[in-house]
Copies of this chain bind each other. A is one copy, B any other.
Amino acid sequence: MKRVYNFSAGPAVLPEPVLKKVQGELLNYQETGMSVMELSHRSAPFQNIIEEAQSLLRELLSIPDDYHVVFMQGGASLQFSMIPLNLLGSDQEADYVLTGSWSKKAVKEAEKVGNARTLLPHEKFEIPAYTPEDFSPQSSYVHITSNNTIEGTRYHKWPETGGIPLIADMSSHILSEKIDVSSFGMIYAGAQKNLGPSGVTVAIIHDSLVGQASNTCPTMLNYETYVKHDSLFNTPPTFSIYVLKLVLEWVKENGGVEGMQADNERKAGLLYNCIDQSSLFHNPVPEKNRSLMNIPFSTRDEELDARFLKEAKAEGFEFLKGHRSVGGMRASLYNAMPLEGVEALVGFMKKFESEQGGV
């Protein structure tokens, strides 16, 4: 059976060469006579894996030396609590920009810890251009979701915070386009979209934000624990970190972040063009806010959407169903989605449209 085209929002498609490498060495990692899953996290072969993963990420994103790279567990959802527990005193405040479902989950956890101010754009698919006047000068940080997986929006310009540390949940588009890490106090991402399998969370944290947690903060929720112990305070998710390292190698071999960005612009361009030129399919996002990674679309007819999804699945296009809060379809075009997958999808959409008798 051939591999399908997997448009899942996450866990998502992985590069086929990475999967083949994992398969090839599954019972004997680099002549150790063991599976990588069986390696002690204190062993030299695993130490090499985690160090290489860190140094590849530093290289690919040109991470400055005054930022730490750490590997954690719990996904972005645990970060929603870790951020305020590390950086928000009970008498302090922080600003949360609510551009989508995930930002709303983030602020809920911050409200348990301190004063979380919320900034809510007027429209569901809007990403305003924020300036320092929008934020409280007392804020410990400003939190954004830089790409909204469900809504299919992204920032075209980072908020200007006037020196307040900017913290971004980049789970659904890290490594998809060039970013200047020094614009941020902290960047974090669950791996299961653009970095690897689920089970590992990456954070890039400026040194000034480490060591701020109170002494009642759980050890496993304190960023300092991960920084001090090189992410090896306790047993890390070793296999997920190993696959993440292989994905980073694949990104490097395929032109780095610049190469990914060029491919992603081409892939997303193909699909947006198809939608915009169609009289059947529609994307709800204003052009300047459109995500390169997650593209919702629909026929604005629930029955027709359902027929499209059914026929698409039969043709080997998997996980195209949109999130229930937006409806219709959603194609996630992460780094590992090959151009052929998008070409095939666009071909299928045109065929489907023509079969509707030019509706």
> What residues of chain A have their CB less than 8 Å away from a CB belonging to chain B?
1-4, 6, 8-14, 16, 19-20, 22-23, 26-28, 31-35, 37-41, 43, 73-78, 80-81, 85, 108-109, 112-113, 190, 192, 197-200, 215-221, 233-240, 243, 316, 318-319
Across the interface, A199 reaches (CB within 8 A) one of B6, B77, B192, B239, namely B239
Q: From residue A79, how far is it (CB to closest CB) to chain B in Å?
A: 9
Check B218 against A109 for contact (C-beta < 8 Å).
yes
Q: How long is the Cα–Cα vector from A34 to B13 in the complex, in angstroms?
A: 8
Q: List 28 A-B contacts (CB under 8 A).
A: A2-B33, A3-B28, A6-B34, A8-B38, A8-B39, A8-B43, A10-B40, A10-B235, A11-B39, A11-B41, A13-B38, A16-B27, A20-B27, A40-B319, A41-B198, A73-B73, A75-B220, A75-B235, A112-B216, A112-B217, A190-B235, A192-B235, A198-B239, A199-B238, A199-B239, A199-B240, A218-B221, A239-B239
Q: From residue A141, how far is it (CB to closest CB) to chain B in Å?
A: 17
A216: chain B residues within 8 A (beta carbon): 112-113
Check A73 against B199 for contact (C-beta < 8 Å).
yes
Return the chain B residue nearest A76 by Cβ: B234
Check B235 against A198 for contact (C-beta < 8 Å).
yes
Return the chain B residue nearest A190 by Cβ: B235
Q: From residue A115, how far is it (CB to closest CB) to chain B in Å?
A: 14
Q: Beyond A19-B26, A23-B26, A34-B6, is A221–B40 a contact (Cβ under 8 Å)?
A: no
A14: chain B residues within 8 A (beta carbon): 35, 37-38
Return the chain B residue nearest A319 by Cβ: B40
Q: Beyond A73-B199, A73-B237, A198-B239, is A4–B34 a contact (Cβ under 8 Å)?
A: yes
